[in-house]
Structure 1
Amino acid sequence: MHIISISSISEVQMDFTCDFYFRQGWRDTRLSFEKSPGIDALYVGAEVSDRIWVPDTFFANEKSAQFHSATTPNTFIRITSKGEILRSIRLTVTTSCPMNLQYFPMDRQLCTIEIESYGYSMADIMYKWGIDGKGSVGMSDQVELPQFKVKGLKQLQKIEYLST
């Protein structure tokens, strides 16, 4: 995940909105192919995501979200000869961010983007942050907020047990 911008943080609505590139990788050996000279991977557009299996990822604390599609859908899929898939999409997401304003204006808030599978259990799908999680979440140096300072980014893996 690479955050391009944080467009708003609202103490009233207790949410924040950010624009980011969301990348997911997985392996599907059904899509493996024999290499040709100079062709190690195939790059395809959004139309292919309707024809292959993709994780049913959603943002559990999402209030609203939008895909970007000007001038073309902002997504791509890379498939390697071994069936390793990388999907990248550009999203703008508003998520809830419960805030404790007891020490306002000297308070610190922790706003999260919670990623889960909508329909699969942990027996079917497991989300992991890159290699040891290092570099899995980044942010553009251009992100500036007039009334706030971003103190850091971190990712963590958490297991949730939900009744179905």
Structure 2
Amino acid sequence: MKSLLVMQLIVLLFLAGCVKGITQQRQILENLLATYDVNEWPDADFDRPTDVSVQMFINSFGSLNAANMDYSIDVFLRQHWVDSRLQHSRNRSITIRDPDMQKRIWRPDTYFHNVKDAEFHVVTMPNIQFRIDGTGHILYSVRVTAELSCNLKLEHYPFDEQSCLAHLSSYASTDEIVNYHWVEGIPIDLPDDLEIAQFDLLNYYPVEEVMPLQTGNFSSLKVDFQLRRQNGYHILQTYVPTVLIVSISWVSFWLDPTSVPGRVSIGVTTLLTLTTLAGGIRQQLPPVSYIKAIDVWVGMCMIMVFGALLEFTLVNWLANKKLVDNQTCKIIPVCKSDEDEEAPKTYVNQAHFIDRISRGLFPGSFLLFNLIYWPYYLSNGMHE
């Protein structure tokens, strides 16, 4: 019985100590904020701007959306500054979780200059860390998912390299009030297992600069992400199918010129399939005015398939055209018949001759195009 009472007493003393600690922290904050002006920046009395150090931890990096010219990024945005008005004598830092209390303390009005949409994370609690140590040093960390604009250059798509910015600045405080700096050492913190769909992160370049606007000069931070598109997806989903479609269109050269159903079916089917595939590619890209590498490829494939269909139209016309004058055959000596045979009634020999030429001309032309296309875009895409 006595041991139980002793245990209960210990628990009560522990709880009382916790309550006392919380009360002391609250009392310290209330004393500090009694004469605190949230509208004044920390160094206003010294007539100098407050230095705010920024670090970004990239939690995840969304894939670039070519159609919308943007990308998404999930970051822990960490800001550090010193507010001498909040110096206290407590042995450990004070962590403020009360949103109302946080609003009573000055914070830099940092925003993403090139943001399209953004949101704070609130599951299961608001992802905000607000900590003050004894010297008045403040750590303000928030988790933000932002959709940022990125001016993509797609001339070499899908063999392109892109440069996308994350641009931070103060919305209302000029450089006379807030002066931004990247944290020394590791301004951009990246996890070891960071992956970006369809892209490789080559490098990043943090920059500090002053942004002149009509409303004043604003200190700002930029980080330039250098990205290279991975080609595996596009080769499997675009290039290999189109090569097969073009190759199938050549099968008609081995069919008889008078085999209308078979040759028409091959020509029309391959042309419609290629048109559908090209339409799907266009939906993934913005309607830019310049020609992209994928446009050159699809355009050439369309020419090859359409050319095979036109070739069939020609040979079928020749195969069914009545031969009026045998002297016409002198144009193509191969079409001459044996002396013992009667003269052909149509130009079917000429039609077969054109088919034989096409069997080598079309694949050879497509091979030559590939020998020019791949070295040109692969070399230029790597160094653009």
Q: CA deviation at 1:8?
A: 2.9
Cα shift readout 1:76-124 (whole Å, capped 9, x = no counterpart)? 1110111110101001001000011111122111111100000011111
Distance 1:145 1:160 in 2: 30
Q: CA deviation at 1:145?
A: 2.4
Alignment correspondent of 2:214: 163
Q: Which has the larger radius of gyration?
A: 2
Q: CA deviation at 1:141?
A: 2.1
2:63 is the counterpart of 1:8? yes
Distance 1:92 1:57 in 2: 14
Alignment of 1:24-63 (within 5 A): 24-35=79-90, 39-45=91-97, 47=99, 48-63=101-116
Q: CA deviation at 1:46?
A: 5.4
Q: TM-score, normalised to structure 2's length?
A: 0.40
**Aligned 8 A contact 2:62 2:197 in 1:** no
Which is richer in strand?
Answer: 1
Structure 2: gaps (5+ residues):
1-55, 216-384
Q: CA deviation at 1:139?
A: 1.5
Alignment correspondent of 2:23: none
Letter of the 2:205 counterpart: K
Q: CA deviation at 1:40?
A: 2.8
Aligned length: 159
Alignment correspondent of 2:121: 68
Cα shift readout 1:25-47 (whole Å, capped 9, x = no counterpart)? 11111111113xxx231122251
Alignment of 1:124-135 (within 5 A): 124-131=177-184, 134-135=185-186
Distance 1:145 1:8 in 2: 6
1:97 aligns with one of 139, 147, 150 = 150
Letter of the 1:154 counterpart: Y
Moved more, 54-63 or 139-148: 139-148
1:144 aligns with one of 172, 195, 216 = 195
**Aligned 8 A contact 2:63 2:197 in 1:** no
Alignment correspondent of 2:246: none
**Aligned 8 A contact 1:2 1:138 in 2:** yes
Distance 2:111 2:98 in 1: 17
Distance 2:76 2:126 in 1: 13
Q: Residues 123 and 64 of structure 1: is their aligned pair in 2 closer, same or farther, counting only changes over 3 Å?
A: same
Distance 1:161 1:87 in 2: 26
Q: TM-score, normalised to structure 1's length?
A: 0.92
Distance 1:144 1:46 in 2: 35
After TM superposition, the runs of 4+ consecutive aligned structure 1 residues lying more than 4 A away are: none
RMSD after superposition? 1.2
Letter of the 1:24 counterpart: Q
**Aligned 8 A contact 2:115 2:148 in 1:** yes
